[in-house]
Amino acid sequence: MTVFVTALAVAAGRGAAGSSAVAAAVLAGQLSVGWCNDAVDARRDTVCGRPDKPVATGELPPWAAAAAAGTALLVCLPLSLLSGTAAAVVHLAGMVASGWAYNLVFKRTVLSPLPYAVGFGLLPAFVTLGLSPPAWPAWWAVAAGVLLGVGAHLVNVLPDIEDDLATGVLGLPQRLGGPACRWLAPLVMLAAVGILVVGPPGAVTFWDWALAAAAAVVAVAGTAVPPSGSRSRWPFRAAIVVAGMAVAQLLQRGAEMT
C-alpha cells in the first residue's frame, strides 16, 4: 500500500519532498491499522492457531500490539499534516479511521466492505489534496479506488473464512461464502481496471487494453481457481498484482487526476 500510494504521488507531481511525506504518513497509518488488528484479534488468532501472528503464538502480549498501534497513530498525525490540512483530514479521518473502524466494528457486520471502500477510494484524494493548489481527484480515480478496496476485502478474507465463521466473525464475505467471493472478487477488481481504461480523458491505447487483459488473466487465475489449501494466499497475491496493474494505469495518467 505504501509503495503504491508513493508511486501515485510521484506521478501526480508531488515532488521528492511531498512524495516522501506521503510515504511516511501512509506507512505509519498502515502500521497502526495492522497492529490494531493484531491486538483486537489476539484471542481469535490464538484459537485459530495463526503461526504468522506473534501475539497469537505468545511471542508478544496483546498490550504490546495495542501500544504499538497507538504509537504509530500518534506518529501518523504530524506526518499527515506535512501534506497540508485538507490532505491530513482525508488521510486521518478517512483512510486511517476507516481501518480502525473495520477492526473495531465493521469486521463483524454485513457492512464490512464499507471501510475498505472508503479507505481505498480516498487514496487519490490524499495525494491530490497535497498539491499546490489542492484539488479533488477525478471521478474515475476515486471510483476505481472504491472498487479495488472492495475487491481487496473479498480476497483478503478468503483464506480465513472457515476460521472466521467458527469464531463468530460474520462480515459480508463470510455471509456470502467462499465460492461466491472467489468469483465476485475478480469481477469487482476487473471493473476497477475497466474504469481506469475508459474513464480518463483521451483515446484508449493498445497498451491500455493489453494491461486490462493481463489483469483479467491474473484475477481469474488467482481467485476463481480453487486454492490448494484452506489458507492459500494466492487470491490475496492476485489482488496485489491486479492492484499493481491498476496503479500502473494511474501512473500513466497521474497528472490528469485533477
For residue range 99-148, what is the model confidence (pLDDT) as tens digits?
Answer: 999 999 999 999 999 999 999 999 999 999 999 999 999 999 999 999 98
CA distance 216 to 210: 10
Report the candidate in 56, 170, 161 with the shortest Cα–Cα distance to residue 107.
170
pLDDT of the residue at 23: 96
Q: How many angstroms separate the CA atoms of 22 and 15, rounded? A: 10
Full-model pTM: 0.88
Band of the pLDDT at 82, cuts 50, 70, 90? very high
Q: Which of 47-56, 83-92, 112-121 has the lowest mean pLDDT?
A: 47-56
Residues 6+ apart with CB under 8 A from 230: 159, 162
Query: How large is the average pLDDT for residues 58-73?
Result: 92
Per-residue pLDDT at 223? 63
Is residue 46 predicted with pLDDT exceeding 70? Answer: yes
162-188 per-position pLDDT tens digit: 888 888 889 999 999 888 887 788 888
Asked if the model's pLDDT at residue 235 lies above 70, the reply is no
Grid cell 467462499 is found at 178
Instruction: Give residue 250's pLDDT.
Output: 76
List Cβ neighbours of 187 (8 Å cut-off, separation of 6 or more): none
Mean pLDDT score, 197-218: 85
| For residues 188-206, average pLDDT | 86
Residues of the chain above pLDDT 90, percent: 47
- The whole-number average pLDDT for the span 207-228 is 76
Taking alpha carbons only, the member of 145, 15, 148, 153 closest to residue 90 is 145
Residue type, 207: W
Q: DSSP strand E in the chain: where?
A: none
pLDDT above 60 for 232: no
Q: Is 99 helix (H, G, I), strand (E, B) or coil?
A: helix
Q: What's the burial of 252, exposed, middle or buried (CB within 10 Å: 0-12/13-18/19+)?
A: middle
**Mean predicted confidence (pLDDT) in 144-160:** 87
Compare 95 and 230 and report the one with higher pLDDT. 95
Q: Give the model's pLDDT for residue 48.
A: 77
Mean per-residue pLDDT of the chain: 87
Distance CA 110, CA 117 (A): 14
Top mean-pLDDT range of 40-54, 101-115, 216-230:
101-115
Q: Is the pLDDT of residue 214 over 80?
A: yes
Confidence (pLDDT) at 56: 79
